[in-house]
Structure 1
Amino acid sequence: MEATAASAMVRAMIVLGIETSCDETAAAIVTEDRQILSNVVLSQLDEHRPYGGVVPEIAARAHLDHIDRLVSQAMEEAHLGFADLSGIAATGGPGLIGGVIVGVMTAKSIAAVHDLPFLAVNHLEGHALTARLTDDVAFPYLLLLVSGGHCQLLLVEGVGRYALLGSTIDDAVGEAFDKTAKMLGLPYPGGPSLEKAALQGDATCHDLPRPMLGRPGCDFSFSGLKTAVRHIAEALPRPLPVQEQADLAASFQAAAAASLVNRCRNAMTALADSHPEVRTLVVAGGVASNQTIRAALTGLCADHGYSFVAPPPRLCTDNAAMIAWAGIERLRLGLTDGLDFAPRPRWPLDPDAISKQPRATARPVKTAQSAPLAARS
């Protein structure tokens, strides 16, 4: 019986995933039957904290310093050798290009040495498919992808099949969280600090704008909300009293959540006629770990007869388990990549929709000394 079980384990599809798109260096082993055998994440928060944002050069060097050790650790925790793997998946973009190159070259090297398929995974597709790893969500579904660098609503019809319904016309919601936190004098990283401060605040204290509320369509906007917070904060004494920080944080968070709910409601209404089979809303990306936003979206789904699915917080922020799983999804379909694959700083999920957008929403290539916190996802 033991030999039979071991043989079945070897025959199962098992993929090593590598994630290096921003400031987390990560490696994970995931199986076809949705087991996460290891999921190692090394954050670079301490390295970037003095700069108040992600410095691309520092991030790339850190990935280079740690990636080999983390891959070895992931393999050891999974109790596997490279001969047990079915493929090697790595984030091929979008992201800070120095880091993406480190992950791609590491994955290509392992694939070449061990004669394994190489899979270049779109970082956004990793987020988009995480709910299928955690909850076995069936296609099609509505996806709200919210992170530091991205804010999009997409119809997910299958692996590699994404229709963009709306995106931000200015800031991503995660960028707005991070920059608002900085204005309020909250510590880095901004998004989690703002959520924590908001727990002690009064969300009705400040009448902040709800961007795009009541407008048709599914596009987002957060720059006006951020500016409104800045005007209030500048009129208050410095440093901001703790309660003022909390009240502004709570008011901002409530306004952002209301805007997200409104845009998702419009998407549900639009899909009711064209895709009535869509009855699930998935939220993914780093901002998906925010509990106020989860609660607001849960209420929206209850009102519209939708199921609500959000991965556990540890799988909302950048991780390699989602990359390994996306690799499995692609490997099942024979969608492997050659070793000549070129890492991409920009890689939209729905390339056909880019020309229709007022502004591209992929992470920009940073040329300044410090990338803003929005580079995080």
Structure 2
Amino acid sequence: MLILAIESSCDEFSVAVMENGKIKSNVISTQIKDHTKYGGVVPELASRLHVENFSKVILDAVSKSKVIWSDIDYIAYTNNPGLIGSLIIGRLVAKTIGLYLDKPTMPLNHMEGHIYSANIDNDFEYPVLSLVVSGGHTQIQLLEKPLDFKVVGTTLDDAIGECYDKVARCLELPYPGGPEIDKITFGGNSSAYEFPKLNLINELDYSFSGLKTASINLINKHRKNNTFNIKDFCAGFQNSAIDYLLNGFEKAIVKYKPRTITLAGGVSANKLLRSRIFSIGNKYNICNILLPDLKYCTDNAAMIAELCNEYIKYK
């Protein structure tokens, strides 16, 4: 079974080739440098750059995989959620290839792809509980069996990645803010500043707007008084955000008793989060703690190929 997968939901255009469940190539064209000067992703620019870059990415992915075009069995692509213009480019490219090769196309969900990114080099044992964390999403999803997605917790306002980005902008750090804050925390005193205690809503739902506002107020207050230390602040901010995330996730573990826990999404590359997820798993005697390889944390087509492979196997 040979799958060509396309991911274009935001500011990356990625193409992957999977053969019999193994990733043969995964090429990503990122636009971070193009959007950094605007402090975030500009949707129109993202879709325009996808148009410019998609042919090079496809040819590179197919060349690296060393497969023959006519042997491809399925073309999978991200259908939702994401930036409308970016999604349309990926869909048009996938449909065009499908028509040319006379092969079926499969529209897939971006969030489901992120969840299955942890399954690329591993095997889920069900039920699976996944903490999905990115610039646009913060969710806890439960899978009692393959492809049985159920959102049991979500953010009611800002996603955690969005919160990081807005605080980083106030700190005058480059976009994206998450990796920059993560780097600065090394050696910082997480107790130097007092951050608000964050409470879950409706049992397992999140709200990051309070942390965002409190953090920006702290920055402005201590800068005005010349008492601001960026290392200590970033360490405290990150500790507060991760504590809040894992508080909800731990409650979900107690409630749903999963056999596998995973991280998914761009923020799953965060060093503190990756470390602490193992501590929680060990606390509840969960042996199957699966984290996506760092190259599969950001938006990429390998996760869409893996999701497509799962749908072919089970549905």
> Equivalent of 1:271, from 247, 253, 256?
256
Q: List per-residue Cα deviations over 1:134-172 (Å, max 9, x = no partner).
A: 211233200111111000111113444211111012111
Q: Identify the range of structure 1 (90-99 vs 182-191) with the bigger mean alpha-carbon deviation.
A: 182-191
2:301 to 320, 338, 341: 320
1:134 partner SS:
coil
Residue 89 of structure 1 is matched in structure 2 by 76
2:184 and 2:199 mapped to 1: Cα distance? Answer: 26
Question: Could you tell me which residue of structure 1 aligns to residue 207 of structure 2?
Answer: 221
* Aligned 8 A contact 1:301 1:308 in 2: yes
216 and 120 in structure 1: CA distance in 2 versus 1, 3 angstrom threshold:
closer
**RMSD of aligned residue pairs (Cα, Å):** 1.8
The higher-RCO structure (CA 8 Å, 6+ apart) is 1
Change in CA separation of 1:95 and 1:207 when aligned onto 2, cut-off 3 Å: same
1:58 equivalenced with 2:38 (yes/no): no
Shift of 1:293: 1.0
- Distance of 2:46 and 2:145 partners within structure 1: 32
Equivalent residue letter for 1:280? T
Q: Does 1:74 align with 2:74?
A: no
User: 1:132 offset after TM fit, Å?
Assistant: 1.7
Long gaps (5+) in structure 1: 1-12, 273-277, 335-377
Tell me if structure 2 keeps the 8 A contact 1:217–1:267: no
State TM-score, norm by structure 2.
Answer: 0.95
- Distance, in Å, in 2 between the alignment partners of 1:211 and 1:313 is 28
Separation of aligned partners in 2, 1:112 and 1:87: 11
- 1:105: Cα distance to partner? 0.8
Runs of 4+ in structure 1 off by over 3 angstroms are: 238-241
CA distance in 2, matches of 1:175, 1:238: 25
Q: Which residue of 1 aligns with 2:292?
A: 311
* Pairwise CA distance, 1:240: 8.2
Q: Percent identity?
A: 38
The alpha-carbon deviation at position 321 of structure 1 amounts to 0.5
Secondary structure at the aligned position of 2:41 is classed as coil
Q: Cα distance 1:20–1:216, how it changes in 2: closer, same or farther (>3 A)? A: closer
Superposition pairs of residues 178-193 of structure 1, within 5 angstroms: 178-193=165-180
Change in Cα spacing, 1:182 to 1:240, as seen in structure 2 (3 Å) is farther
Q: Give distance in 1, aligned partners of 2:52 and 2:285.
A: 48
Matched, 1:248 2:233: yes
Deviations along 1:282-302, one digit per CA (max 9) or x if unpaired, are: 110000000101112211111
Name the aligned partner's letter for residue 331 of structure 1: I
The answer to whether structure 1 residue 152 and structure 2 residue 130 are counterparts is no
Matched with 1:237 is: 223
CA distance in 1, matches of 2:172, 2:25: 37
Deviations 1:64-105, CA, capped at 9 Å, x for gaps: 111111111100001112112121011111100101000011
Is 1:114 aligned to residue 101 of structure 2?
yes
Q: 2: distance between equivalents of 1:225 and 1:138?
A: 35
Q: Greater CA deviation, 83-92 or 52-61?
A: 83-92
Aligned to 1:202, what secondary structure does the other structure show?
coil
Cα distance in 1 between the residues matched to 2:238 and 2:51 = 36
Per-residue deviation, 1:216: 6.6
State how far apart, in whole Å, the 1-side matches of 2:5 and 2:96 are: 13
Change (3 A) 1:114 1:299: same
Tell me if structure 2 keeps the 8 A contact 1:181–1:249: no
8 A contact 2:16–2:305 mirrored in 1? yes
**Are 2:183 and 1:196 aligned?**
yes
Structure 2, unmatched stretches of 5+, are none
Question: 1:97-120: CA deviations, max 9, x gaps?
Answer: 101000011011111111111011
Shift of 1:200: 3.3
Opposite residue 231 of structure 1, the aligned amino acid is N
8 A contact 2:133–2:265 mirrored in 1: yes
Corresponding letter in the other structure for 1:316: C
